[in-house]
Structure 1
Amino acid sequence: MSTKIQTTALHSDFAVEVHASIMDVVDDPDAIEQIQAIWRRSPVMIFRRQSLDEPELVRFTERFGRCETSFRKDIQSPYHDQIIYFSTLKYHDGRFVGGFAGGEDVDWHSDQTFQVRPATGAILYGTEVPRDGGDIYWANQYAAWELLPQDVRRLVDGRTGVFRYAKRYSMLNATELKDKEKANAMLSLPDARHPVVLTHPRTGRKALYADPTTLVEIEGLTQEENERVLPQLFAAGGDPAHAYRHKVHNGDMMMWDNGCLMHRRDVMKIEQPRLMKRTTFRLSAADYCVPHA
C-alpha cells in the first residue's frame, strides 16, 4: 500500500500541485488510483521538478487514457508518435522543432473542440522553458456554469453547439499552419456538434463547454438569441476570478481535463529557447465529463 499523496491548492479546488515523483508512482496502482481521484476533484494538476524521457511520459499518460497519435505530423516527435512538440528551437535546415513557435496564443480555448470526437485529456511537460513570458492559464468551467444567469442556464442546458475549425483558423497566430495544403485539409473538416453543458458522471457537477475559438452557434436558438447568449458564455468561460496563472519552470509537468477547463498562454519571445512536449489522451465517459459517449 503506497503512502497518501499530498497536494497543495494553487487556486480554490480546481488547480493543485501534486507532491509526487512520476517515476515513483507510475507503476504503483494504488498511487495512480489516488491521482485519478485527485484529478476528478481538481482538473489542473502540476507536478514540479520531474525528469522524464519520452517513453516514461507516454507510460504515465496511458495510466489515465489511450494516447492519441497526432494528425499534425509536422510537429510530432521523431521518436514517439504519441508526443508533439511546441518549441522555438530549430533543426539544422531552419525548420522549427514543433509548432506554435512564437507570438500570441489563440486566447481561451479547449483542445480539439472542432473534432467530432475530441480527446479531452492533456499533459504538457516543460523540458526547456523561456525565462520571460509564456505563462499558462486555466479557467474553471464548473465555475463558469455557476456564473451564468438562471435564464441563460435554462436556455442552453441540454442544447447542442456547432463547432467549426474555420473560426479558430481566423484567430491563429502567423506561425500556425503556414502550409496551405494542411490548412485546407483542416478547413475542410465537417462541423462538430457537442453539448454546450457537460455533466460529470461521478460528481454530477456541470461544466460549460463553449470554446470561443470554435463555437459558432447553439442549435435551436434564434439568431438573436445566439447573438445575446454566446458573448455571455464566452465571458463566463474566461472570467479572471476563476482562472489560475502558472509560471512554468523546467521540469514542470502540467495535466488538465479539457472537458471542464479552458486554457491559454501569454505572449512569448521567439528568441528565447522553449521545448514543451505534449500528450493527448482519451478519457472514459464513465469517469469524466466528455462531449461524447
Structure 2
Amino acid sequence: MIQTQIQTSPLHSDFAVQVHVAIQDIVDDPAAIAELKAIWQKSPVMIFRRQALDEAELVRFTEHFGKCETSGRKDIQSPYHDQIIYFSTLKYSDGRFVGGFAGGEDVDWHSDQTFQVRPATGAILYGTEVPRDGGDIYWADQYGAWERLPQDIQQLIEGRNGTCRYAKRYALLNTLELQDKARANAMLSLPDATHPLVLRHPHTGRKALYADPTTLIGIEGLSEEESARVLPILFAAGGHPSLAYRHKVHNGDLMMWDNGCTMHRRDPMKLDQPRLMKRTTFRLAATDYCTPHA
C-alpha cells in the first residue's frame, strides 16, 4: 500500500486545484482516497492531469466517492461499462456517433440533473481524445455566488425552494442531444422538481447558491413578478466572472467536481476535430456533501 501525502496546486483560490497524483497508483489505497475526500471538502473542483486509466479503473475510482449511476440511454453508454457515458465527435462505421452530445455550440452555465427530483451531484469527466481548438470548460464557485448576493436577497431566498423544469433546458439544448422524439417527449413530460435555493455543507457549514439558469423557473412563495425580479440576480451571481475557473483540457485530464456547490459550462468547439470524453455520474451522500436532498 502506498503511503502518500497528496500535493495540490491552486488553480482558482482554493475552489479549484490540480492534484499531483497518478490515480492508477492510488485507486486501491484507502488512505490516499481519504486524503482526496478531505481535499474535495475544501476544493470542489479537482483536476488530475496526464492520467492513463482503463474504464474499470475509472469506475472503481468513482465508486470510492459515491454510487455510479447508469444511463437509460444505451446510445451514449460505453459498450464495456454501463456506468460510463461518452461525449464524442467520433463515428462508428455506420455513421452513428460514438456517444452523444457531439454538437459544437457552447453550453450555458448549469448544474447537472437539477430537473430531477433527486439529482446525483458527483461528476467525473475524463478526456481521452481532446480537440485542439475550443471546448474549454469553466466551473463557477457557488459558495462565492452566495457570498456575492446582497443581504436582502440572501434573506429572501434562504429557506425557500426553487422550481426546476426540464422544458427550459430543452429549449436551450443542442439539437443533437435529443434527436429521438420519443425520448424528448418522455423528458418533457417529467414533473417539475423543487430544490432548496441555498445548500449547506454538513461538515464545513458553508452555504452555496443552487440556482441553475437552464432549469430554474420560479421561487416558491414569491409571485411571478417577484421571481422575475430575483432570478436574474441569482443567475448573475452564479456565473460572475470573478468566480470562474477556465480549464484548457488536454489529453489525459480527469476533471472531478461537486454539482452541489459549483456550476459549469463549455466553450464552442469544432466538430471536425476528434473528441472522446468519458463521463461518470455518482450519487453523493447528504451526510457528507452539499446536496439538495436528504
Match of 1:133 in 2: 134
Match of 2:89 in 1: 88
Match of 1:292 in 2: 293
Match of 1:163 in 2: 164
Match of 1:105 in 2: 106
Aligned partners of 2:85 and 2:278 also within 8 Å = yes
Using the TM superposition, give the Cα deviation of residue 73 of structure 1 relative to its aligned residue in structure 2, in angstroms: 2.0
The residue type equivalent to 1:143 in the other structure is G
Using the TM superposition, give the Cα deviation of residue 102 of structure 1 relative to its aligned residue in structure 2, in angstroms: 1.9
Using the TM superposition, give the Cα deviation of residue 223 of structure 1 relative to its aligned residue in structure 2, in angstroms: 1.4
Aligned with 2:288: secondary structure?
A: coil
Aligned partners of 2:107 and 2:267 also within 8 Å = no
CA distance in 1, matches of 2:83, 2:57: 12
TM-score, length of structure 1 as denominator length: 0.99
| Alignment gaps of 5+ in structure 2 | none
Aligned with 2:107: secondary structure?
A: coil
Aligned partners of 2:126 and 2:277 also within 8 Å = yes
Match of 2:249 in 1: 248
CA distance in 1, matches of 2:26, 2:15: 22
| Alignment gaps of 5+ in structure 1 | none
Aligned partners of 1:105 and 1:172 also within 8 Å = no
CA distance in 2, matches of 1:213, 1:292: 19
Which digits, 9 at most, give the CA deviation of each residue in 1:65-93, with x for residues without a partner? 00000122221111111000000000111
Where in structure 2 are the equivalents of 1:50-61 lying within 5 Å?
Answer: 50-61=51-62
Aligned with 1:74: secondary structure?
A: coil
Where in structure 2 are the equivalents of 1:141-220 lying within 5 Å?
Answer: 141-220=142-221
Where in structure 2 are the equivalents of 1:262-273 lying within 5 Å?
Answer: 262-273=263-274
Aligned partners of 1:15 and 1:42 also within 8 Å = yes
Aligned with 1:10: secondary structure?
A: strand
The residue type equivalent to 1:251 in the other structure is G
Using the TM superposition, give the Cα deviation of residue 175 of structure 1 relative to its aligned residue in structure 2, in angstroms: 1.3
1:116 and 2:117 correspond: yes
The residue type equivalent to 2:216 in the other structure is L
Using the TM superposition, give the Cα deviation of residue 62 of structure 1 relative to its aligned residue in structure 2, in angstroms: 0.4
Match of 2:39 in 1: 38
Using the TM superposition, give the Cα deviation of residue 7 of structure 1 relative to its aligned residue in structure 2, in angstroms: 0.1
Where in structure 2 are the equivalents of 1:220-239 lying within 5 Å?
Answer: 220-239=221-240
Using the TM superposition, give the Cα deviation of residue 45 of structure 1 relative to its aligned residue in structure 2, in angstroms: 0.2
Using the TM superposition, give the Cα deviation of residue 99 of structure 1 relative to its aligned residue in structure 2, in angstroms: 1.1
Aligned partners of 2:130 and 2:249 also within 8 Å = yes
Aligned partners of 2:107 and 2:268 also within 8 Å = no
Over 6 Å off, 4+ runs: none
The residue type equivalent to 1:264 in the other structure is R
Aligned partners of 1:106 and 1:213 also within 8 Å = no
CA distance in 2, matches of 1:157, 1:105: 31
The residue type equivalent to 1:44 in the other structure is V
TM-score, length of structure 2 as denominator length: 0.98
CA distance in 1, matches of 2:260, 2:74: 25
CA distance in 2, matches of 1:4, 1:195: 36
Using the TM superposition, give the Cα deviation of residue 50 of structure 1 relative to its aligned residue in structure 2, in angstroms: 0.4
Aligned with 1:95: secondary structure?
A: coil
CA distance in 1, matches of 2:280, 2:105: 21
Aligned with 1:108: secondary structure?
A: strand
Match of 1:279 in 2: 280
Using the TM superposition, give the Cα deviation of residue 173 of structure 1 relative to its aligned residue in structure 2, in angstroms: 1.2
Aligned with 2:93: secondary structure?
A: coil
CA distance in 2, matches of 1:174, 1:192: 23
Percent identity of paired positions between Structure 1 and Structure 2: 78
